[in-house]
A and B are shown apart, each in its own frame.
Chain A
Amino acid sequence: MTEKFFGKAVKRVEDPRFITGAGNYTDDIVLHNMTYAAMVRSPYAHAKINSIDASAALALPGVLAVLTGKDLVAAGINPIPPGWLLPDLKISAHHAIQPDKVTHVGNIVAAVIAETRAIAEDAAALVDVDYEMLPAVALGSTALAEGAPQVHELAPGNVAFKWEIGDSAAVDAEFAHAFKTVEVKLRNQRLVPNAIEPRSSLADYKRAGDEYTLYTTSQNPHIHRVMLGAFIMGIPEHKLRIVSPDVGGGFGSKIFQYPEEVIVLFASKKLNRPVKWTATRSESFVSDAQGRDHETVAEMCVDADHKVLALRVKTIANLGAYLTTFAPAVPTYLYGTLMNGTYKWKAIHCHVTGTYTNTVGVDAYRGAGRPEATYVLERIMSRMALELGVDPLEFRRKNFIQPDEFPYQTPVALQYDSGNYEPAMDKAMAMLDYAGLRAKQAEGRKNGKYIGIGVSTYLEACGLAPSALVGSLGAQAGQWESALVRVSATGKVEVLTGSHSHGQGHETAFAQVVADELQIPMEDVSIVHGDTARLPHGWGTYGSRSAPVGLSAIKMASDKINDKAKKIAAHLLEASVDDIVHEDGKYQVKGVPEKSKSFFDIALMAHLAHNYPADLEPGLEATHFYDPKNFVYPFGTHLAVVEVDANTGHIQLIRYVCVDDCGPIINPLIVEGQVHGGVAQGMGQALLENTVYDDNGQLTSGSYLEYTMPRADNMVQLEIGHTVTPSPHNPLGVKGIGEAGTISSTAAIANAVIDALEPFGVKHLDMPYTPEKVWRAISASLPQAADD
C-alpha cells in the first residue's frame, strides 16, 4: 500500500519558509527602479474638495508626480463598481481618487509618487487640500432618520437598497396563535478585520508589450484582473497579470478591489517605472473594508410545546460610504437565508435596509453575514429559553431538524443537503460536563462567583457557490473553481488552483489529496496559486470555498490524470483499459501485479510518446472546472464559559468547547487551527473589539491603542471535538471550516455573558461586553447602599 495522507496531521509544507523569514509577501518584493506612493487622505468624513494645491509637494526633490481624481477621470479611469447587484440598488460612484467630494475619513484625494517612501510621505503632508466641510452621519439608523445628512445625492434618505426574504403573511399568522413571543433588539457592532499584514500593491508597467503586472495582497487575483481590466481601467485582460504572493491573512478584507491598486497601476504607466504602496496600520483602519454593523429587531414565537413557530427580523445594515465588492450580498443573501439555523421553523421573514453613512465601506469579514444571522438567531433562542424557564440546550434539541428530514427545505431559500445535530450537541455537553458545570455555577453564585455558560448550535452555508444560483441573485461573478494538474516528464506534479491560500495551508492539504489520488509521495506534488499568468481563471478564496469547491476541482482533474494514465498503461501493458487498476502506486493489470507501470513510467511515456496509443494526445495534464451543485452546510455546538468580576465588570473567557462537523477531515492540524483562529475572532467581537465613530464620522478607535485586538492572555486553550457528516454532493464529502469558529463563537460567548449576569436580572446587553457596560448592568440591579 502507498501511504495515505487524507486524515493525517501532516506538518505544513509551507512552514519552512515562514519560520525562517523566507516568506515572500508583497511588501518584500523589490523591483529595479522602483518608486513609492503615499496617499493623501481626507481627515473629514464628509466634505467638498474646493481645490488641491500640490505645488509644495511637487517642489520637494525626489517627488515624481502628484495625482488627483481629475487626472484619473481625464484618463478615462472608471469608478470601482460593486460585484453584486440587487434590484433598485443605488450605486455610489467610488473613484480611486475622489475628484469632487469625500464621504469618509480616509477617502483618497491625491496620491504622491516619489523616489523613496520617506519623500513620498513628506510630500503627502505638503499637499494642501481646501475642503468645505459638510455634516456627516455614522450610524445606520441615524442615516435613515428624517433630515439626516445626505451621503450621496443618488440615494435619497441614504437608502442603498431594501431587501426581504420569506413569507411575511405566514409569519404574522404564526404570531397570531403563538403561546409565547419574545423580542430582542440587537446591535452587531462594526469590526475592523485587521489582518496583521497591511495591504500592499506594487505595479510594474512594461512599455515593451504594453503589459502590466500587479503584485497585490489579494485573496482572489482573477477577480482583480476582471475588475481592473474590464471595468475600471480598460486594460485588456491578457495584458494584465495579477500576482498575489504570500498574503499575511485576509479574513475577507483582501477580497475586494481597492483604490490603491488602481492608483499604482495608473502611476506605473505614467512614470514608466514600478510603483509600490504599502499601508500603514493607521491607513488600514480607515481604508480596509470593515465588517458587521447591523441594528436589528427580531421577534420569535413558540407553541405550548415549546416548538418554534416563526421568526421575524428587521435589520438596518450600515454599508459605509461606498458599495465595495461584495457589500450588497453580505447583509442579504449571506444573512437572511441563514436565519433558519438548525431548527424547524414554520415561517421566517427577514427585511434588510442597506444604508449609506460617512464611514469606511462594510463588506465581508470572516463569516460575512452568517455570524450576524447566527448572532440574531442564537441570541433570540437563548432569550426564549430564558423566558420559558427551560434549559437553552434542551430547548434547541427539541427544535432540531432530524437526520431523516434531509434534504430539508427552509423557509428562506436554502435546501440543506445533510445534517445530524444532536450528536454534536451531546458530545459538546459531555466534553464540558454540562450538568456538572451547571451545578458548580449554582454553587458559585451563592459565594459571589459568577460564571456563565453559553451555547450556539450553529449552522452555516459555505462553499460558494452554484454559479447559476448566485447569478440569478445578482452576483457579477461565477462561483465555480478551476484546477489544472500538470505532470512533468519525471512524474513530478504541479497543481494549479484558483483557490488562494493566505494562511489556510492549501499547499499541504491539497497536496495530501493529490498524493492520495495519484498514489505518489507528497513531496512530488506542489500547489501553485495566486498568479493569473500561471493559472486557469479561478475565483479565489472566501466563503470557506477552497476545500468544497477548489479541492473538488483538483480531485476531478486528478481523476482525469488517472483515466489517461490507465489508457497509456493499457497500451504499454497490451491490456484492455478496463482491466487496468490503480493500486500500490502502480497502474497494473487486474490480478497480475507483475504487469504494471509506475507513475514515473507513465509520465515519461506521455512526454516521449515513443510507444503510445495512436488515438491519445501526448502529455499528461488535465484541467477541471467544478461548479458545485449546492452550498455545503457545516454545523456544530459551541459551549463557552465566562467568569464575571462583579467588582469591575471584567469578563474572562475560562473554557471553550466546540464540536464542529465539517465532513471528512483532510488534515486535523489545519482544521483545528482554523477553528482556533475563528473562535478568537468571535471572542474578539463579543468581548473586546469595537469600532467607534463619533457623530462627525471621526474614527475614535483607529489604532491598536484603542481598538482591542485579542491577545494571548484573552484566550484559553480550546477543547475541540468533531462529528463527521459528509456532504453528499461533492466528490470528497468535505465542507468548509474556515469561518465556522467565528460564526458560532460570538453568539456562544454572548449567551455565556448574559447567562453569567442572570442573577443580576440582566436579559440583554449589546456587544462588546466591555467592563464598564457590564459593571453598570450589575450596579443597576443592586440595591443602593445607604451611604451612596
Chain B
Amino acid sequence: MYTSEFTYHKASSVSDALAQLASNPDAKLLAGGHSLIPTMKLRLASPSALIDVSSLPELRGIRTEGDTIIIGAMTTHRELEFSKVPLLSEVARLIGDPMVRNKGTIGGALAHADPSADYPAAILALNAKIKIQSSSGARVVTADEFFQGMFTTALAPGEMLVEIHVPASVKGAAYEKFAHPASRYAVAGVAVVVHSDGSLRAAVTGAGDHAMRLTKLESEGVSSACKGLVSASDLMGDHFASAEYRAHLVDVMASKALARAK
C-alpha cells in the first residue's frame, strides 16, 4: 500500500526544518509517523513534501532545569515510559502498543491533537507549557491555550512544537483510561494532578472533541464525589460509546484517578 508521491527532506536542524516549512506551505513535519503515515496510506492526506524532524538531536531527550522538566518534542513514548517524569511516564505506558511507543513521539502526538490521544489530559492536568518555534522566533503557550478543538491546536502555519515543560515534582498524579478495545485510544481518559502548592487540576481526553479541564472536579477538590463531572451534551458519541455513557465513564475514571492521586 502506497501513499501519494511526495518529496522527502531530512531536516538538519530545527531552523532548517522551519525554513523548509516556510518555503512549502503544503509540507508536513514527519515525527514518529504513527498518525500521519496511516492517514497518508489511506490517501486521506497527501502532502507534497515531508520534512523529517524525528531524529533531530536538539529535539530529543528529557532534562531538568530547576523545578521544570523539559521534554524535547521528538522524545518517544518509550523514552517517557521508562523515565521518571511525573504522570507522563504512566500515561506513555498506556499508549498504543510497544512498537508504537518505540517510534511515536510526544511532540507529534500533541501537535496532531487527536481527540482520543492520551497525553492531552495529562498535559492539561500538569499545567504544562508548550514551546513553539517558527522562523520568526519562539513563544510559549499554556496547555489550556494549546488545545483548541478536534485536531486543532495553537500551532500556526509555519510553526513547530519544540518542547514540553512540566513540573519536576507534584504531590500526586494519576491517569485512568477506559480504552476502546479496538484502537486502544481513550474513550475516557482522566488525569488528576495534585500540585506542590496543593492545587488540584484534572482533565479528560477521549470523551469530547478535544481534551478539556474537569472544572467541577477541580472546584470540589480532593473530596469530590466525581458525579456528573461533564454533561453528555458536551461529548461525542459513536456506535461503541454514546455521549451519555462517556459522561458516566468520565465519572468512573475520575473517581479512580482521584483516589490514586490524592
Contact = CB atoms under 8 A, between A and B. Distances in A.
Chain A bound to chain B: yes
Main secondary structure of the interface of A (DSSP, over half): loop
A647 B252 contact: yes
Contacts of A775: 245, 248
Given A118-B2, A121-B1, A772-B245, A648 B182 contact: no
A707 B240 CA distance: 10
Contacts of A708: 181-182
A692 interface: yes
A198 to B, nearest CB: 10
Given A705-B183, A706-B182, A648 B43 contact: no
B141 interface: no
B183 A117 contact: no
B242 interface: yes
Main secondary structure of the interface of B (DSSP, over half): loop
B43 A282 contact: no
Given A648-B178, A706-B240, A125 B43 contact: yes
B5 interface: yes
A704 B2 CA distance: 18
Interface string A484-513: 000000000000000000000000000000
Contact of A282 (B42, B182, B183, B249): B42
Interface in B1-36: 1-2, 4-5
Interface in A694-747: 700-701, 704-709, 714
Given A705-B182, A772-B245, A692 B239 contact: yes
Interface in A105-131: 117-118, 121-122, 125
Interface in A623-675: 647-648, 650
B182 A280 contact: no
B241 interface: yes
A688 interface: yes
Interface residues of A, number: 28
Contacts of B252: 647-648
Given A282-B42, A648-B252, A706-B183, A772 B1 contact: no
Nearest to A768: B181
A770 interface: yes
A122 B183 CA distance: 28
A121 B2 contact: yes
A692 B240 CA distance: 10
Contacts of A117: 2
Nearest to B237: A772
A776 to B, nearest CB: 8
Given A772-B245, A775-B245, A707 B239 contact: no
Contacts of A771: 178, 241, 245
Contacts of A770: 181, 240
Interface in A748-775: 770-772, 775
B250 to A, nearest CB: 11
Interface string B148-185: 00000000000000000000000000000010011101
Given A280-B1, A688-B181, A701 B239 contact: yes
Given A770-B240, A772-B242, A775-B248, A707 B2 contact: no
A772 B188 CA distance: 13
B137 to A, nearest CB: 38
Nearest to B2: A118
Contacts of B248: 775
21 contacts: A121-B1, A122-B2, A122-B5, A125-B4, A282-B42, A647-B252, A648-B178, A648-B252, A650-B178, A690-B239, A692-B239, A700-B239, A704-B182, A705-B183, A707-B182, A708-B181, A708-B182, A771-B245, A772-B242, A775-B248, A776-B245
Interface of A: 117-118, 121-122, 125, 280, 282, 647-648, 650, 688, 690, 692, 700-701, 704-709, 714, 770-772, 775-776, 787
A-B pairs with lowest CB-CB distance, top 7: A118-B2, A708-B182, A705-B183, A772-B245, A708-B181, A280-B1, A647-B252
